[in-house]
């Protein structure tokens, strides 16, 4: 068994210039007009239930689509009916708009991917491709840590490898599939079973060879969105010029590590895609509820916190995937379909408070077809009502679809609309998509409220701050306030409130934050922005850490484990040793993200290159395979550099 089921039996295991081709297609990537369009717009808002105010002019990233992987060598191809279920958008279909396929090192297998790719194209989907290995004659083995048979691309084969990738592009094109993009390498930083690349090697290939490939280029597809793999690309103008899509995987990536400030700063004109994940595991049935609701929350954070433009699952058809082996949509699939069926390519995410009340997660999108889509996830155990208001807009029609324990993508009615507002009823542990037909401004009341007073700060902690301001006035009445965080020339909504007071949470410790306030009336008119206030959050307690331990899969004599190390100190931690003891004789046989040394029950772990530094407030994830006896209890105590960590 391979660690993350990526390999067979496991996951389960001179062409025309690319620039010339893209220019001819009129297809220069334009994910975001400016870097701030992919900023942090997902900070939690005040805990109390508040009106979600959606400004149709506050545009964020353009959505490219949602989809999954087909790999006909490792598992059987989708059937004709299953292709339509995946890429069709009728009842009982997923509405996927992205297909990812492999670039097989053996050209004899290329034709195996054509049928599903062609059908996806016929449904209007985008097709991308990723290689796991170059052809064998282009590689060599080397020693990498304890791995004596590690594989890498020979340095004298970079040009030949670029030609290999471009040959695949041409083959698919000749067979009716115009690839939107091709990757340099799948997971070059987690390549025990395929081909390793260092950041410097990726930069060199992008600089010297990627320009000859006649489609868009994806890199680096780090398995855990490890920024140290992609930072060198963003910091090298020549390499960045030949990159079109920064691709990432999210295996074990904590939500706090989703944002990417350097991409916001330097990635203007590039696209940002999440090109592979399964979540939260590959061991549970995809129909378990409310566990499958976690997928909806994961997509939410990928869109809002990370600003990804695409979300691509691993295998489309699998017991833990969006489509069951019988070809029917699973509960996990329904959670994705609440986005994929309604948020179509070309839609634009809108700025909105992402967590208007406890356990509720909201994202909003608009299309060029005069529609606004709102996806609301209620992770709570009780039903809630949530008020939504579209600024300076009338809603002419509203419909919704619901998935919960007993219903799957079930249409619902009875939405009462008043001008630009409505109240959404969110059942316990559910995901709901609202589709709104919108019209021009409300017309009758066009007078905006007065400017709120400058916020006054109180209740400062390491992660939160309370703000209060002099109330605004309006000719009809103020309906609520929107608190924004100001960063350079941009801003992001962080809280909304019906009264002139709000608490902003989820802030970084020991950091200066600047806030301002808008007022709105019932017609959606918004005031000018208030004067801003800057406050520095308290430092986090020094020398603290947390560890999350879980068993991700168990097969009796062995198991797959996961350890998340959280640095809750105010400064980054570079270099660390994690110590713990198994209580029942378990043994680590393979680990990624760290190097284990075990003496009896005691395990000591030192970091891999990419996990050596844990940023302040950040985390790293270790995965491992272990053996066990009749029981498999979790370790009770973890210490990091001698400090005892809190555990969950």
Burial class (CB in 10 A: 0-12, 13-18, 19+), 477: exposed
For residues 374 and 424, the answer to whether their CB atoms sit within 8 Å is yes
CB atoms inside a 10 Å sphere around CB 106? 10
276 belongs to the catalytic site = yes
> Cα–Cα distance between 311 and 305 in angstroms, integer?
13
491 belongs to the catalytic site = no
For residues 161 and 132, the answer to whether their CB atoms sit within 8 Å is no
Q: What is the largest CA-CA distance in the chain?
A: 77
- DSSP strands (E only) in 452-505: 456-458, 465-468, 478-487, 490-497, 501-504
Place of tokens 């019988």: 326
Place of tokens 């050596």: 612
Torsion of CA 630, 636, 640, 645, to 10 degrees: 150
Write the DSSP string, 228-278: HHHHHHHT-HHHHHT--EEEEE-SS--GGG---HHHHHH-TT-EEEEEE--
Considering the candidates 12, 105, 113, 187, report the single residue annotated as catalytic. Answer: 187
Contacts by 254-258 with C-beta closer than 8 Å and gap 24+?
254/564, 254/566, 254/618, 254/619, 254/621, 255/301, 255/305, 256/617, 256/618, 256/619, 257/225, 257/618, 257/619, 258/42, 258/225, 258/301, 258/302, 258/305, 258/306
> Cα–Cα distance between 517 and 526 in angstroms, integer?
10
> Cα–Cα distance between 180 and 22 in angstroms, integer?
10
> Cα–Cα distance between 161 and 151 in angstroms, integer?
14
Distance of alpha carbon 58 from its chain centroid, rounded? Answer: 21
Considering the candidates 12, 113, 276, 491, report the single residue annotated as catalytic. Answer: 276
> Cα–Cα distance between 303 and 364 in angstroms, integer?
10
Coil vs helix vs strand at 343: coil
Enumerate the active-site residues: 187, 276
């Amino acid at each position: 068994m391979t660690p993350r089921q990526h390999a067979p039996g496991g996951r389960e295991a001179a062409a025309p210039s690319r620039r010339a081709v893209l220019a001819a297609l009129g297809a220069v990537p334009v994910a975001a007009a400016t870097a701030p369009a992919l900023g942090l717009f997902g900070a939690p808002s005040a805990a109390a239930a508040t009106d979600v105010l959606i400004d149709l002019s506050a545009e964020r990233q353009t959505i490219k689509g949602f989809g999954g992987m087909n790999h006909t060598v490792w598992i059987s191809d989708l059937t004709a009916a299953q292709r339509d279920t995946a890429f069709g958008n009728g009842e009982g279909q997923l509405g996927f708009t992205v297909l990812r396929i492999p670039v097989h090192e053996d050209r004899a297998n290329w034709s195996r991917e054509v049928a599903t790719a062609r059908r996806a194209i016929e449904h209007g989907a985008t097709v991308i491709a990723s290689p796991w290995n170059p052809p064998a004659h282009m590689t060599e083995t080397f020693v990498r840590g304890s791995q004596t048979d590690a594989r890498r691309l020979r340095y004298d084969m970079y040009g030949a490898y670029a030609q290999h990738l471009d040959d695949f592009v041409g083959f698919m094109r000749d067979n009716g599939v115009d690839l939107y993009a091709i990757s340099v390498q799948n997971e070059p930083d987690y390549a025990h079973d395929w081909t390793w690349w260092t950041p410097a090697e990726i930069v060199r290939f992008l600089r010297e060879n990627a320009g000859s490939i006649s489609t868009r280029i994806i890199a680096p597809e780090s398995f855990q969105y490890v920024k140290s793999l992609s930072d060198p690309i963003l910091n090298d103008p020549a390499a960045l010029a030949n990159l079109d899509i920064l691709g990432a995987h999210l295996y074990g990536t904590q939500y706090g590590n989703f944002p990417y400030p350097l991409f916001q700063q330097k990635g203007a004109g590039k696209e940002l895609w999440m090109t592979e994940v399964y979540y939260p595991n590959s061991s549970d049935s995809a129909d378990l509820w409310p566990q499958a609701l976690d997928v909806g929350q994961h997509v939410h954070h990928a869109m809002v916190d990370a600003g990804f433009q695409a979300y691509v699952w691993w295998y489309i058809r699998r017991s833990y995937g969006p489509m069951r082996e019988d070809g029917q949509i699973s509960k996990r699939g329904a959670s994705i379909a609440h986005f994929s069926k309604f948020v179509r390519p070309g839609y634009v995410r809108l700025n909105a408070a992402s967590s208007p009340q406890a356990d509720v997660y909201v994202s909003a999108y608009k299309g060029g077809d005069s529609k606004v889509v709102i996806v609301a996830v209620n992770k709570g155990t009780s039903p809630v009502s949530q008020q939504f208001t579209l600024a300076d807009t009338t809603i002419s029609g509203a419909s919704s679809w619901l998935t919960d324990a007993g219903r799957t993508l079930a249409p619902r009615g009875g939405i009462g609309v008043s001008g630009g507002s409505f109240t959404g009823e969110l059942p316990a542990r559910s995901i709901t998509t609202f589709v709104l037909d919108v019209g021009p401004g409300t017309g009758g009341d066009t007078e905006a409220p007065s400017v709120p007073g400058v916020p006054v700060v109180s209740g400062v902690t390491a992660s939160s701050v309370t703000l209060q301001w002099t109330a605004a006035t309006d000719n009809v009445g103020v309906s609520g306030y929107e608190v924004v965080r100001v960063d350079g020339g941009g801003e992001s909504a962080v809280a909304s409130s019906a009264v002139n007071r709000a608490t902003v949470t989820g802030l970084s410790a020991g950091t200066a934050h600047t806030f301002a306030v808008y007022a709105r009336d019932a017609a959606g008119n918004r005031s000018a922005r208030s004067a801003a206030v800057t406050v520095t959050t308290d430092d986090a307690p020094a020398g603290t850490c947390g560890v999350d331990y879980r068993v991700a899969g168990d097969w009796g004599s062995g198991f797959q484990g996961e350890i998340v190390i959280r640095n809750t100190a105010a400064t980054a931690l570079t270099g660390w040793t994690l110590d713990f003891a198994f209580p029942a004789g378990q043994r680590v046989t393979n680990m990624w993200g760290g190097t284990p040394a075990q003496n009896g029950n005691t395990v000591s772990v030192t970091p891999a290159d990419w996990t050596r530094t844990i940023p302040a407030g950040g985390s790293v994830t270790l995965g491992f395979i272990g053996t066990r006896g009749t029981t498999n209890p979790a370790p009770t105590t973890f210490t990091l550099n001698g400090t005892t960590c809190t555990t969950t």
